Structure 1
Amino acid sequence: MPGVLMAALLLPASAGTLVIESWRVDDKALWENVLLPAFARHHPDVTVKFAPTAPTGYDAALDARLARGTAGDLIACRPFDLSLALYRGGHLDRLNGKPGLQNFDQSSLVAWQTDDGKDTFCMPVASVIHGFFYNKDIFRRHDLQPPRTVDDFFRVLDVLKKAGVTPLALGTAEQWESSQIVYTNIGPNFWRGEEGRKALIAGRAKLTDQPFVDALDFTARLGRYLPAGATKQTYAASQARFASGGAAIYPAGSWDIAHFSRTPGLALGVFPPPLPREGHACHISDHMDLGLGVNRNSRNKEDAYKFMAWVGSQEFADLYTNRLTGFFTLSHHLIAVRDPVAKQMAEWRKRCASTIRVNAQVLNRGQPSMEVELWAVTSQVLNGSLAPSDGAVRLQNRVEQGRPGQK
């Protein structure tokens, strides 16, 4: 026995278990059945547990665990200010120069950097892309093609409406869709993507300027093509209406590809946001959705950074992109996207300039946040209860209230 005890004492200490905090409860099977086994093939001595919290409770629960010192080793990072606050609060490690980070361009890091861009505190994982899904069978029956321009788009909607087909599977009961999958989906083509977004942050542009008002005008015009009872129609009801063939077009986030691909008999097509006119530069909302950081108080940093390096690898990028359809790697690895609709959306990156939701960086600061105001304004514009020009004034007033040094 003494010899056995001595031998045991000479063995290296157990690596312990890495715990991943996340709000993405829907991804649990992917992590447990695909991603973690793939990592284990490289590091069989490292045990990793994926421990998600429901999205609505994630931020508060994570804050409480961080305060108690009971949070996991790896932290799923929301984009911009929520994660920036965790870094400033001493909860996330500085990642500058860490293995894996070299596989991301500067533009992919901005959601998880300090305002001056000097420190990176989360590794980018994935983005979502916006556009419009359409029912190919309905389009064929009415001899329609996916529209390229705004004029084309409204001609298609008119044909559908006159034929007795509900043009849009879209409601405003939950409000967020009006902002995130309408206004900030179609808007970048009007305000020229990053050019307009950065001009707003710098104070060189205002939301009352014509390009931003034009995007609200587009939103208002869509109101003529909503289904009956749209003010009470939820996101789930919109999904169901489109999946059943009860509407021809669905303003979309790429995360819905997987949902609709499981719908028997649905011939799913997709087209990008329409251009203001033919020949206009193309811009898409390619919004940063998820990053991963290291808990500064993790007791297992060595293994945590092994895992982070793997998250930056081609293998991880391929698995995540192709096994979680509609979420696209932010790395510059070349990935062959297998799902045909996801592949089409990913290819927009080659001919369109990518941007993010116009309010996501800096402009959301202050209470109520610009995000909350956008939900309210865009849903009212879409419902026809608020004029686009008045909505623009409200949004610009919110920008001014949130600027540093202003009350």
Structure 2
Amino acid sequence: MHTVLKARHLLLASLLAAGTASAGTVTIESWRVDDKTLWEEVLIPAFQKKNPGIQIKFSPTAPTEYDSSLTARLTGGTAGDLITCRPFDVSLNLFKKGHLEKLDGKAGMEHFPASAKVAWQTDDGKTAFCMPMASVIHGFFYNKKMFKELGIQVPKTQPEFYAAMEKIKAAGKTPIALGTADQWESNQTVFTNIGPNDWKGEEGRKALIAGKAKFTDPQFVAAWTQMSKWTPLMGKGASAQTYADSQNMFAMGKAGVYPAGSWDIGYFNKEGMDFGAFPPPVAKSGDQCYISDHTDIGMGVNPKAKNKAEAYKFLAWLGSQEFADLYTNKVTGFFSLSNHLISVQDPVAKQMLDWRKTCKSTIRLNAQILNRGEPAMENALWNVSSQVLNGKMTPKDAAAQIQAGFEKSRANAAK
């Protein structure tokens, strides 16, 4: 009998110990499935070296399922302690529903400039609810070998760009590795990549929000006009070509340039591609250049976190020089939004980051406020921009359709 009771006590003790260990583990919610190994083998151990005894678990969900499953877990009270935040309205809506804590004045937030915080603040800028982590930069990758063989200089202006593309086409090769089957690239890596040079970045974006500009104005039509010139440069079957197809085409050396987001650097490095990068060409020599330097990822605290004190310690570390350096150099193509000075090791990533020295940064055109209509402007831009690239819609018609949707959403918001 004594043996049975002793066994029961041992079992109860082990269960309590297990429960305590579980309860003391800070869980991070994220959509960055690809980064799981990095978090487990590099980032978390670096934090634990300075904070022994705090257990951290990185628990990612597939990107396409993240938003809905996270909302369900937050509503049901089963979400993790730390919430990886998408920029602007997705996270703002979580905050409005009470799923993210206010972070103003919290340790680590002092290391970020005001511009970095915009993506995770209320519209009036008075309340922050996620700590900025990283941005992605858009531009073009180019095939160094092809450029050298054809005697092409890296283009700085739009006339130089189109002359280079025609030279590649004349050589029997595909100038631009791009398809429209998935549609999203037509907005995120094309329209909002090349367009800022036409609408002058933040000046044009803020003018739209303020109602002082329309998509039918020349500076916005100009971006779609550029895209209409790409139709014969994208190769055969572009309308059925996926994002993965485009990556593969460029990686295999079959195309001259690839309109890119910096997140693609890691993929092409793994493929052994010899490539460089250049910013979106300006209209003419001497023009101010603009780049889409998009605030992409942040981190917030779940108000119902079971380990809130430990979560805040980890959040403070996310604002440190150590994390900024590790994240920028280990998650290649994601650039710290902090004001810490960082030495970027990857040559292409360094090229892209250096554009900040000469070009003015802006975020994706529709990311803030403009995307709140029904249907969302993001999806509308995918549609019309893909049609322009496919040669199925004129630039003016694309602008008119987006402006009509924009006006309708404003009218509905005013009701």
Calculate the aligned-residue CA RMSD, in Å: 1.7
**Is 2:393 the partner of 1:386?**
yes
Q: Structure 2: which amino acid aligns with 1:383?
A: N
Counterpart for residue 172 of structure 1: 180
Counterpart for residue 140 of structure 2: 132
Q: Distance in 2 between matches of 1:361 and 1:219?
A: 23
Counterpart for residue 209 of structure 2: 201
**CA 1:239–1:405 in 2, change beyond 3 Å: closer, same or farther?**
closer
**Is 2:237 the partner of 1:225?**
no
The SS at the match of 1:288 is: strand
Q: Structure 1: which amino acid aligns with 2:355?
A: W
Structure 1: gaps of 5 or more residues = 6-11
The SS at the match of 2:136 is: strand
Q: Distance in 2 between matches of 1:292 and 1:405?
A: 29
Deviations 1:262-319 (A, max 9, x none): 123x211111000011111111000111000000111221111100000000000000
Deviations 1:64-107 (A, max 9, x none): 11111000000000000010000000010000000100000000
The SS at the match of 1:405 is: helix
Q: In the TM superposition, what is the alpha-carbon distance from 1:13 to its structure 2 partner? A: 10
Q: Distance in 1 between matches of 2:408 and 2:370?
A: 10
Q: Structure 1: which amino acid aligns with 2:390?
A: N
Counterpart for residue 306 of structure 1: 313
Counterpart for residue 9 of structure 1: none
Q: Does the CA contact (< 8 Å) of 2:23 and 2:306 recur in 1? A: no
**Is 2:344 the partner of 1:350?**
no
The SS at the match of 1:126 is: strand
> 1:357-396 counterparts in 2 under 5 A?
357-396=364-403
- Partner residue of 2:242 out of 228, 234, 246: 234
Q: Distance in 1 between matches of 2:197 and 2:39?
A: 36
Q: Distance in 2 between matches of 1:333 and 1:405?
A: 40
Q: Does the CA contact (< 8 Å) of 2:373 and 2:406 recur in 1? A: no
Q: What is the count of residue pairs matched by the alignment?
A: 399
Q: Distance in 2 between matches of 1:222 and 1:320?
A: 35
Q: In the TM superposition, what is the alpha-carbon distance from 1:402 to its structure 2 partner? A: 1.7
TM-score by length of 2: 0.94
TM-score by length of 1: 0.96
Q: Structure 2: which amino acid aligns with 1:317?
A: A
Q: Distance in 2 between matches of 1:181 and 1:317?
A: 25
- Partner residue of 2:335 out of 328, 333, 340: 328
Q: Distance in 2 between matches of 1:15 and 1:272?
A: 48
The SS at the match of 1:248 is: strand
**CA 1:75–1:14 in 2, change beyond 3 Å: closer, same or farther?**
closer
Counterpart for residue 155 of structure 1: 163
Structure 2: gaps of 5 or more residues = 1-12, 14-19
Q: Distance in 1 between matches of 2:173 and 2:148?
A: 13
- Partner residue of 2:81 out of 70, 73, 78: 73
